[in-house]
Amino acid sequence: MSDTLLKVRGLKIGATVYPPGEKPHDIDIVHGVDFDLERGKVLGLIGESGAGKSTIGLASMAYGRGGVKITGGEVWVNGRDVMKSGLKDIRKLRGAEVTYVSQSAAASFNPAKKIMDQVVEAAVEQKKFSRKDAEQRARTLFAKLGLPDPDNIGERYPHQVSGGQLQRCMTALALCPEPDLVVFDEPTTALDVTTQIDVLMAIKEAIADTGVGALYITHDLAVVAQVSDDIMVLRMGNTVEYGNTDQIINNPQEEYTQALVSVRSIEHEEKPPTPEPVLTVRNITARYKGTNFDVLHNVNVELHPGQTLAVVGESGSGKSTLARVITGLLPPRDGQIDFAGRTLSGDLAGRSLEDLRELQMIYQMADTAMNPRQTVGTIIGRPLEFYFGLRGDEKRKRLIELLDEIELGEKFMDRYPAELSGGQKQRVCIARSLAAKPKMIICDEVTSALDPLVADGILKLLLDLQKIENVAYLFITHDLATVRAISDSIAVMYQGRVARYGSKSEVLSPPFDDYTDLLLSSVPEMRLGWLEEVVANRKMESAGN
Amino acid sequence: MHPIVKLVAQRLALGALLLLAASALIFGLTEALPGDAAQAILGQAATTESLANLREEMGLDRPALTRYFEWLGGIMTGDMGLALTNKLDIATSIQSRMANTLFLAFWAALISVPLAILLGLIAVRYQNRWPDKMISGVTLASISLPEFMIAYILIFFFAVKLFWAPSFANISPSMDLLDKLHAIALPVAVLVMVVLAHMMRMTRAAILNVMQSAYIETAELKGLSGFQVIARHAFPNAIAPIVNVVMINMAYLVVGVVVVEVVFAYPGMGQYLVDAVVKRDVPVVLACGVIFAAVYILLNIFADVVSILTNPRLRHPK
């Protein structure tokens, strides 16, 4: 047998789409892709959403999500063309020769079954191992992947382990039947940065120990640089560039690859504090109704007019809760919020129309923050009517102004959210909050759901608008690159407390406290060997364990 | 205490409270109806005097609240009282009729529940193909026809034309099981047709809903076959909604069989209740109503508990 594990030639993938108001028709997702993967090697597939990288990964298992189907080309696995195999042969391939690790282990584990039953299922069903041997192998893998209590963790249900642990269980599930090829589909994207490192290291070592070949799919070039031998850059179903990792990272040939490598090029000069902060959060302590522990402890921060305060932390650190307290959705147990020279009521019901107008919010999911049955004009026009009573021509004039400010223009007025791209939707949400002429906007992970290049565009827009409108941003994010790009001051949150607070230059300069050090060092860097280096130098355990 | 024991105890207590409220409601409603048992017995021609005499004799002249609490006190000690109209002990009369109703419901359930779930699974496996469409079509047709209509159609073909089964489903304790089953064949068939569609369609919808989950994709990518994926990974997560709809239909089999019992002249609770309402025999109506309410509440508690038990988050807290 040759050493080529996976050979793909001229792969074309299509799907039937059902756009509203149009006849269903076929579209092409992948337009002819070629690559080879040798036994024991790792190929990184990288690209933005819609690049077709997951679709290509699943094609190696002859699987298409929804109406997706392979329309042309060849996919050879272990010397057999899966395109010419019957369903029975394909079933023997899936779960035995090729296995899959998905982005969200939490959704991909059956909530009604124990972890062990699910991890060994494919190996037993495909007659690779007896149930007893498979369980033994699973326990060995649990230990190898650094899971706590590897002998008994399989007896738990998926909801009884953390997200990072479940992602490792998913890796064990994929490795248990001793496959030749594992497709990793964004396996660390849903994890916090500090947890991501542990899982990444576990996956890398497991690949090396078992000698399995892997397709590693991600949108994060810095991550893929740590694990893969070769990298293929994809864009809209086409290969942009294909080469070994060193060449792609250090010497990219194509313009698009260069843009991906150098993303986050925004420079932002830090502004000094003003005498009069627009927002002062004093000694805020808060807990959720029906619970008996505080999720915020004695939080103190300030935000100055026309500046940006970045609130950074991992999931569960309390950063979104802080936003809920400031907006009045969660009345605090203790403490006080001063805004624009007055003290705000802790309860939403106690706030005036003026309070509501001057404090706006933009959300992570632009999709769900807009009514899908209203046009862009109606969505942005609503605050104009509600706060300023604008009607007719006056309203239309202001609408056009706002649409120009977000670089979309008048022609978008009558479109529906479904007709917009992710970045355009977020721009509409920005315009809606600006329409109220606020003094301050809370931005809750506004770029997390966007591709890096699109996210960059949104951040640039926010900074430009800040200069024009002199609006302050409270910017909640888990992404440190974003923090570096746009903030004037930073609050690092950890377990409901502000662990570090000050101007950007202060917070990001040593000496660091242990947590900030862990957080900063966990951000993937685009150079080879970074992962091993950072794991060797860590001072504390990541919060996800 | 284990949270599940606590939960079951809570539900039972709540059920008892509900039952009390139901009995008060039934009593109030029968009081609110025009006329009473005395008037029903004596008819239109009764004089005011004879009515008053009969009322006194029956105890109907006392305040409604007194009578309700007397009845409530009786039922707490297991005494359902005597029927107003024929002075027979209600508990004895109900016993055999309840047994007959349960007998009918039992056989209808035994056939309809497994059949509905099996048909639901088949419909999912062959979704949007001909088996699915045929199952959906036939069950929809049977649910769309009123039950007395189905009953008369079945009687016409199987009793009148083919002589396969009797049109009067009369059973007595002296009959052996096979004779009894033969007697109730047609009413059971009607009940099965009435409840089948609802349960089957709910099974189909619940499983299809689960089939959208990411863990179904995981199962498919393990190389499992279509039926393995449905039975092993989809069905366990669809049990809660399925049990709920099954229990609602079980309750219907006991409580809602009035029409079928009347059409087939079956000696069950339904007919007894209808008779009692006509005669304004409040103690009998109350007894029947409370028993029906109890069955309904118990089955719903059962469905609740089962759907909670199938949720691993509640069975195995963190």
Where in chain A is CATH 3.40.50.300? Answer: 41-65+85-261, 279-509
CB contact under 8 A, A108 and B214: yes
**Distance, CA of B214 to CA of A357 (rounded, Å):** 41
Element (DSSP H or E) covering residue A311: strand A308-312
Residue A441 pLDDT: 95
Residue B245 located in a structural domain:
yes
| pLDDT per position as a tens digit, A320-355 | 889 999 999 999 999 999 998 899 998 888 999 999
Q: HSE of A87 in the Cβ direction (CA atoms, 13 Å)?
A: 4
Q: Are A276 and A269 in contact (CB under 8 A)?
A: no
For residues B263 and A351, the model is more confident at A351
Asked whether the predicted pLDDT for residue B231 surpasses 90, the reply is no
Q: In CATH, what number is assigned to the domain containing residue B209?
A: 1.10.3720.10
Q: What percent of chain A has pLDDT over 90?
A: 34
A6's tokens? 């996976």
Q: Cβ atoms within 10 A of the Cβ of A95, count? A: 28
CB contact under 8 A, A159 and B313: yes
Name the percent of chain A lying above pLDDT 70.
97
Tell me whether residue B115 is in a domain.
yes
CA B219 centroid distance within chain: 38
A279-509: CATH topology is Rossmann fold (3.40.50)
What confidence score (pLDDT) does residue A541 get?
A: 62
pLDDT at A544: 45
A173: chain B residues, CB-CB within 8 Å: 218
CB contact under 8 A, A94 and B221: yes
Report the helix count and the strand count for chain A, using DSSP H and E.
20, 20
The CA distance from A527 to the nearest CA of chain B, in Å, is 33
Q: Which residues in chain A are closer than 8 Å to B310, comparing Cβ atoms?
A: 112
User: Is A538 or A132 the better-scoring residue by pLDDT?
Assistant: A132
A241-245, A506-510, B58-62, B223-227: the lowest-pLDDT one: B58-62
Instruction: Supply the ipTM of this predicted assembly.
Output: 0.75
Mutation test of the interface with chain B: which of A121, A128, A175, A186, choosing the one with the most B Cβ atoms within 10 A?
A121
H/E element holding A71?
Answer: strand A68-77
Residue A159 has pLDDT above 80, yes or no: yes
| Chain A residues touching B209 at Cβ < 8 A | none
Helix/strand/coil for B100: helix
Mean pLDDT, chain A, whole residue set: 87
Contact: A157, B225; criterion CB under 8 Å: no
Chain B residues whose beta carbon lies within 8 Å of the beta carbon of residue A112: 236-237, 310, 312
For residue A542, what pLDDT is reported?
57
Is B139 within the bounds of a domain? yes
Q: Higher confidence at residue B305 or residue A541?
A: B305
- Average pLDDT taken over every residue of chain B: 83
- Sign (positive or negative) of CA dihedral A157, A162, A163, A165: negative
pLDDT interval class at A303 (50, 70, 90): very high
Is B128 part of the contact surface with chain A (CB cutoff 8 Å)? no
Contact B111, B236 (CB under 8 A): no
Query: Is CATH 3.30.470.10 the classification given to domain A41-65+85-261?
Result: no
Mean predicted confidence (pLDDT) in B164-171: 78
**Number of structural domains chain B divides into:** 1
Q: What is the DSSP letter of A82?
A: G
pLDDT at A265: 61
- The stretch A28-41 carries a mean pLDDT of 88
Q: How far apart are CA A33 and CA A232, in angstroms?
A: 10
Note the pLDDT tens digit of each residue in A366-377.
Answer: 888 899 899 999
Is B291 part of any domain?
no
**Token pair recorded at residue B91:** 């508990």
A299: Cβ contacts below 8 Å, ≥ 6 apart: A281, A283, A284, A285, A318, A322, A335, A497, A498
Averaged pLDDT, B3-29: 87
Say yes or no to pLDDT of A2 above 70: no
Residue A1, pLDDT score? 46
Strand ranges inside A340-484, DSSP E = 342-343, 359-362, 440-444, 472-477
Residue B5 belongs to some domain of the structure: no
Query: For residues A388 and A402, what is the distance between their CA atoms, to the nearest angstrom?
Result: 15
d(CA B297, CA A289): 32
Residue B92 belongs to a domain: no
List the A25-38 sheet strands across, edge first: A25-38, A4-17, A68-77, A80-81
- Look up residue A190 and give its amino acid: A
Rounded CA gap, B20 and A131, in Å?
A: 54
Give the residue from chain A lying closest to B313, CA to CA: A159
For residue A310, report the phi and psi dihedrals to the nearest 5 degrees.
-95, 125
Give me the mean pLDDT over the B194-215 stretch.
Answer: 88
Sequence-distant (6+) residues with CB within 8 A of A57 are: A45, A100, A183, A185, A215, A217
**Dihedral sign for Cα atoms in the order A445, A446, A452, A457:** negative
- The residue with greater pLDDT, A70 or B62, is A70
pTM given for the model = 0.76
Mean pLDDT, residues A458-471 taken together: 90
Q: Which residue has the higher pLDDT, A132 or B226?
A: A132
Residue A22 pLDDT: 72
Q: Which of B215, B236, B310 sits opposite A108 (nearest CB)?
A: B215
pLDDT digits (tens, 9 = 90+) for A220-231: 888 888 889 999
Mean of pLDDT values over B124-139 = 87
Stronger pLDDT, A232 or B162, i.e. the higher one:
A232
Contact A111 B215 (CB under 8 A): yes
Q: Which of A431, A44, A341, A394 is nearest to A217 (CA)?
A: A44
Tell me which chain A residues have a C-beta less than 8 angstroms from the C-beta of B218.
100, 102, 108-110, 118, 173
Contact state of A126 with B233 under an 8 Å Cβ cutoff: no
Domain membership of residue B262 (yes or no) is yes
Per the structure, the complete domain to which residue B211 belongs is given by 99-278
> pLDDT per residue over B40-65, tens digit each?
777 777 777 777 777 777 777 777 78
